[in-house]
A and B are shown apart, each in its own frame.
Chain A
Amino acid sequence: QKEVEQDPGPLSVPEGAIVSLNCTYSNSAFQYFMWYRQYSRKGPELLMYTYSSGNKEDGRFTAQVDKSSKYISLFIRDSQPSDSATYLCAMSRGYGQNFVFGPGTRLSVLP
């Protein structure tokens, strides 16, 4: 079993839809949870991060962490064609600890 699992997609949605992206993980020691966005032919860029369980909102993006279920989510409201990218979840056990990445979900938002 991989340490971090993520549906690779591709996921296609119409513009304006609410998008839900998810990751599951097996290591209960993970405490820091990140979402990265990667456009084609670019390096990943940090979108959001959360520490431990709970929700975090930033504009149209909301990150949720449920440590009891070992499940994290990223919600995108009012999705735009510019949101079309691959979304990677990542997590780490603590400060200075290395990141473990999910394989990424490719999202296409159709105008």
Chain B
Amino acid sequence: EAQVTQNPRYLITVTGKKLTVTCSQNMNHEYMSWYRQDPGLGLRQIYYSMNVEVTDKGDVPEGYKVSRKEKRNFPLILESPSPNQTSLYFCASRARVSGSGYNEQFFGPGTRLTVL
């Protein structure tokens, strides 16, 4: 089954304790990204990657890091989490856009993070 998986699904942590949220896709997609979803603000992009070893900042990158060492994996790293990073996080992937079509973006199931 084609899918994007994230782990963990739920995480409660304390301020300053480094954490990693993993994301993996089995569709051989080039493009992957991370979003956070907050009430009233919708989905905001944190970081994205156009391919292996190519990453770039989205709209709200402060306090986050990513890496793309393999095509299928795109972990999100919070080096020193703070309470304002409490949110619902989604990983997404899609194939590289080409021609005149549109390639659907597939989302993972989400990771609910609480930072105390």
Contacts and interface: CB of A to CB of B under 8 A. Distances in A.
Interface in B29-72: 31, 33, 35, 39-45, 48, 50, 58-59
B100 to A, nearest CB: 9
Interface in A33-50: 41-46, 49
Given A43-B4, A43-B90, A49 B102 contact: yes
Interface string B3-22: 01000000000000000000
B102 A43 contact: no
B105 interface: yes
Given A43-B107, A101-B42, 14 more contacts: A41-B109, A42-B109, A43-B92, A43-B109, A44-B43, A44-B107, A88-B43, A96-B31, A96-B97, A98-B58, A98-B59, A101-B35, A103-B39, A103-B40
B108 interface: yes
Report, as a range, how many residues of chain B touch the other chain.
Answer: 20 to 34
B1 interface: no
A103 B35 CA distance: 13
Contact of A101 (B40, B43, B50, B98): B43
Nearest 9 CB-CB pairings of A with B: A43-B107, A103-B42, A101-B43, A101-B42, A95-B97, A46-B104, A96-B97, A44-B107, A43-B109
Contacts of B45: 98-99
Given A51-B102, A98-B45, A99-B105, A43 B110 contact: yes
Nearest to B45: A98
Nearest to B33: A98
Q: Main SS of the interface on chain A?
A: loop
Contacts of B44: 101
Nearest to B6: A43
Given A32-B102, A46-B105, A49-B102, A96 B50 contact: yes
